[in-house]
């Protein structure tokens, strides 16, 4: 009888301790998400307590808003160009570091430090590097070796690749560590058997290492896609007055949501774009579930 009473007490306290983080998570995750769906159907301007229901008007306005399509296109550019580059370089780094006998910990730390560094600090350092002569390091180097200086962040065609370069550089550490963990998880027996059968390093790489790392690649593709879809800090801090310029050439969807909500005070319109972004991320998650299921 006493034993059953002690067990019930343990379960009761377990539920009590579990419900506290659950309430916290629901209050900061589920409720704001559901409230965003409601806000997208209103014309709330954040400074007024009155919320007029306008139905799907905000969504209809999105389809005729050229800035929305520009920012959505920019967001996909960050994903389409940034993710493959970061995955490729991250895998190459992991593959080479795995072959290092001495000092591999130092290499891991060197490449991982940018990832754990504040992105605001990273963005401002790279903004300084991209500045014109005599401030910017890159243009000073170009000038010293006789090459023409580049506008970088002030150019409509170069600004987005410049920000993308910063993002890829800062993201490499995470990609490398996860790839390295995936490589370490492969059984050494597979490599030994392949070498006994006469396989060279190229055959081992493409027929054993990469196929065995498909779950790792899927994971990095999904998490990386979500990160690039939500890109914000780099653009906010590297462009003039955080406008995503020049001429919206670098502005992602998240920055446009921020501007609409807190500069133009169009909370309903910003919420509609948030819903669109949420649906995009949800689609990526569903793709992950399907691909991961096929891998089993």
Burial tier of 269 (Cβ tally within 10 Å: 0-12, 13-18, 19+): buried
First-to-last alpha carbon distance for the chain, in angstroms, is 46
Is residue 79 a contact partner of residue 60, using CB atoms and an 8 Å limit?
A: no
Residue 40: predicted pLDDT? 94
Is residue 111 a contact partner of residue 93, using CB atoms and an 8 Å limit?
A: yes
Look up the pTM and report it: 0.88
List, for residues 172-191, the tens digit of each pLDDT value: 999 999 999 999 999 889 88
pLDDT at 101 over 80: no
Is residue 254 a contact partner of residue 231, using CB atoms and an 8 Å limit?
A: yes
Residues contacting residue 262 through CB under 8 Å, at least 6 positions apart: 46
pLDDT at 124 over 90: yes
Quick one: pLDDT band at residue 120, thresholds 50, 70, 90?
very high
pLDDT at 59 over 90: yes
Q: Quick one: average pLDDT of 151-156?
A: 94
Domain boundaries, the chain: 65-295
Q: What is the average pLDDT value for the chain, to the nearest integer?
A: 90
pLDDT at 107 over 70: yes
Q: Quick one: average pLDDT of 65-75?
A: 95
CATH 3.40.50.12780 given to domain 65-295: no
Residue 192 backbone dihedrals phi, psi, to 5 degrees: -65, -40
pLDDT at 289 over 80: no
Closest CA to 164 of 228, 80, 237, 82: 82
């Amino acid at each position: 009888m006493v034993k059953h009473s002690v067990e019930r007490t343990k379960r009761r306290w377990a539920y009590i301790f579990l419900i506290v983080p659950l309430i916290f998570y629901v209050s900061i995750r589920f409720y704001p998400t559901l409230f965003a769906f409601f806000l997208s159907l209103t014309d709330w301007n954040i400074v007024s307590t009155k919320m007029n229901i306008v139905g799907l008007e905000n969504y209809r306005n999105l389809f005729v808003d050229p800035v929305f399509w520009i920012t959505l296109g920019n967001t996909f550019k960050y994903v389409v160009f940034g993710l493959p580059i970061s995955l490729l370089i991250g895998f190459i780094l992991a593959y080479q570091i795995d072959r290092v006998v001495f000092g591999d910990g130092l290499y891991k730390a060197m490449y991982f430090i940018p990832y754990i560094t504040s992105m605001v600090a990273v963005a401002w350092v790279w903004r300084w590097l991209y500045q014109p002569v005599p401030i910017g390091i890159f243009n000073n180097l170009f000038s010293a070796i006789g090459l023409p200086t580049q506008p970088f962040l002030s150019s409509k065609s170069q600004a987005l690749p410049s920000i993308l370069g910063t993002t890829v550089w800062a993201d490499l550490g995470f990609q490398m560590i996860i790839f390295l963990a995936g490589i370490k998880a492969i059984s050494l027996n597979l490599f030994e058997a392949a070498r006994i059968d006469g396989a060279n390093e190229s055959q081992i790489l493409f027929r054993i290492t990469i196929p065995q790392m498909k779950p790792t690649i899927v994971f990095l593709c999904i998490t990386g896609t979500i990160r690039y879809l939500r890109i914000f800090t780099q653009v906010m801090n590297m462009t003039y007055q955080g406008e995503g310029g020049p001429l919206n050439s670098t502005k992602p969807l998240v920055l446009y949501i921020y501007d609409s909500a807190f500069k133009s005070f169009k909370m309903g319109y910003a919420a509609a774009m948030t819903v669109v972004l949420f649906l995009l991320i949800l689609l990526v998650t569903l793709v992950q579930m399907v691909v991961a299921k096929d891998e089993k």
